[in-house]
Amino acid sequence: MASEKRVDLDGNPIKPITICMIGAGGFIGSHLCEKLMAETPHKVLALDVYNDKIKHLLEPDSLPWADRIQFHRLNIKNDSRLESLIRMADLTINLAAICTPADYNTRPLDTIYSNFIDAIPVVKYCSGNNKRLIHFSTCEVYGKTIGSFLPKDSPLRQDPAYFVLSENLSPCIFGPIEKQRWSYACAKQLIERLIYAEGAENGMDFTIVRPFNWIGPRMDFIPGIDGPSEGVPRVLACFSNNLLRHEPLKLVDGGQSQRTFIYIKDAIEAVLLMIENPARANGQIFNVGNPNNEVTVKQLAEMMTEVYAKVSGEPSLEKPTIDISSEEFYGVGYDDSDKRIPDMTIINKQLGWNPKTSLWDLLESTLTYQHRTYAEAIKQATAKPAAT
């Protein structure tokens, strides 16, 4: 654990606080809890319906941080303990959400309730009890880039003004209502507006985080191993699953969409700076991403194939990818963000933070983890029963 001498970015000593972390049992929550336990003196009230991804932090009782983390199994939709847990804490971090694209068009009601309606009481309890809130939104609130509406051969498409996404400048551009993909982005946008209004009208201290494709160990699930066989997780887990099963990676609509990927451990550094520097983080919306790690989804598939061959020692397939239509893969109502380059000006100025890890390096450590964690289980699950 860190010494008492830890100071914030302005040289002031950092006092230990209690954090109510909602959705602590998920991908980001598990890494944030790990960081807080290993490197800070803060206490965490960890709220979630699951705790599999933080079990290693909760047991055994002899862990050095055992008295600083408490798990509360609850669903924020319907649990009267929520307000008292928020009241017991100095800061609430809300990570709870349905946030896998396969759900946005197939379960739009659950998506909207989870990302907007269920988050309202959290905002209200923070505002009503004068508590600080760090709320996790998404880069998807930007939707499509302005450049995507220009003719394909327009030179303006190369101009950053038409594609770089800036917190306080860029518009939010979503597709039509029948493209239910945008139910998530729209719900996240509305909760951002509600939080911003609580800040403006009632003086609530808040920070909004817009993650740009954070990836790493413990992200989502491997279908049929630690999640439903028919489930469709986000791209890292989809491609990992294909690689582990020696199947071609599926490129939705040819894999031409572009993304910037950031290593979860880099991103968590940014969140810790927000937690410990409230004077610099309050009232801000922060992009958190790595603009240097841009690839098309097709390039991501090719790089993952190469990295997986290296870490597993298994040769790649002769034809490592196949194309699939978005309708076949996700169903009716899917649509896509074309390109996501985060403007880093605000987070750089307020918190002096920059991402460090290259795409190759983050894939190497993540796929080493995936291989070590899942290869044997997949071998057993797919082994044919021996003939009798």
Q: Which residues are catalytic?
A: 184
Taking the C-alpha atoms of residue 65 and residue 370, their distance in angstroms, rounded to an integer, is 27
DSSP 363-375: HHHHHHHHHHHHH
Total residues contacting ligand NAD by CB under 6 A comes to: 23
Contact status: 165 vs ligand UDP (CB under 6 A): no
Q: Do 88 and 164 touch, CB atoms closer than 8 A?
A: no
Count of all residues that appear for the chain in the document? 388
337: CB partners within 8 A, 6+ apart: 139, 140, 142, 143, 144, 145, 257
Is 49 exposed, middle or buried, given 0-12, 13-18 or 19+ CB atoms closer than 10 A? middle
| Under rule CB under 6 A, residue 26 binds ligand NAD | yes
Out of 259, 265, 280, 339, which residue is the one contacting ligand UDP (CB under 6 A)? Answer: 259
Interface residue with ligand UDP, options 20, 208, 251, 285 (CB under 6 A): 251
Asked if residue 241 lies in contact with residue 223, where contact means CB atoms within 8 angstroms, the answer is yes
User: DSSP strand E in 212-357: where?
Assistant: 214-215, 249-252, 258-260, 262-263, 284-288, 294-296, 321-324, 341-342
User: Is residue 75 a contact residue for ligand NAD (CB under 6 A)?
Assistant: yes
Interface with ligand UDP in residues 40-79 (CB under 6 A): none
Q: Between 297-312 and 359-382, two packed helices, what is the crossing angle to 10 degrees? A: 70
Residue nearer to ligand UDP on the CB measure, 137 or 213? 213
Residue 48 interacts with ligand NAD (CB under 6 A): yes or no: yes
Binding-site partner at residue 272 among ligand NAD, ligand UDP, none, CB < 5 to 8 Å by type: none
DSSP codes joined into one string, 292-328: T-EEEHHHHHHHHHHHHHHHH-PPPPSS-EEEE-HHH
Identify which range of 90-98, 149-157, 299-307, 324-332 contacts ligand NAD by CB under 6 A. 90-98
Closest approach, Cβ 119 to ligand UDP, in A, equals 18
> Tokens at residue 127, please?
């505002």
Q: Provide the 3-class DSSP secondary structure of residue 333.
A: coil
- Of 45 and 96, the one with the shorter C-beta distance to ligand UDP is 96
Among 105, 189, 207, 257, binds ligand UDP (CB under 6 A): 257
The correct pick among 19, 21, 25, 103 for binding ligand NAD (CB under 6 A) is: 25
Determine the interface stretch with ligand UDP among 8-16, 45-53, 61-69, 254-262 (rule: CB under 6 A).
254-262
Q: Which does 46 bind (CB under 5 to 8 A by kind): ligand UDP, ligand NAD, none?
A: none
Contacted by 259, from ligand NAD, ligand UDP, none: CB < 5 to 8 Å by type: ligand UDP
Binding residue for ligand NAD, selected from 69, 97, 187, 249, defined by CB under 6 A: 97
Exposed/middle/buried for 204, CB within 10 Å: 0-12, 13-18, 19+? buried
Answer with the entry of ligand UDP, ligand NAD, none that 32 interacts with (C-beta below 5 to 8 A by kind). Answer: none
- Residue 363 carries which side chain, given as an amino acid letter? L
What is the amino acid identity at position 31? H
Does 266 sit near ligand NAD (CB under 6 A)?
A: no
Backbone angles phi, psi at 192, to 5 degrees: -60, -45
Among positions 317-346, residues that touch ligand UDP (CB under 6 A) are: 336-337
Tokens of 205: 């201290």
Residue 49 binds to ligand NAD (criterion: CB under 6 A): yes
Number of residues that bind ligand UDP (CB under 6 A): 15
Which of 34, 103, 118, 343 forms a contact with ligand NAD (CB under 6 A)?
A: 118
Residue type, 362: L
126 is an interface residue for ligand UDP by CB under 6 A: no
15 binding ligand NAD? (CB under 6 A): no
Omega before 60 within 30 of 0, i.e. cis: yes
As a whole number of angstroms, the distance between CA 115 and CA 146 comes to 25
Site residues (vs ligand NAD, CB under 6 A): 23, 25-29, 48-50, 75-77, 95-97, 99, 114, 118, 136, 138, 211, 213-214
Interface positions with ligand UDP (CB under 6 A): 101, 140, 213, 234-235, 238, 250-252, 255, 257, 259, 297, 336-337
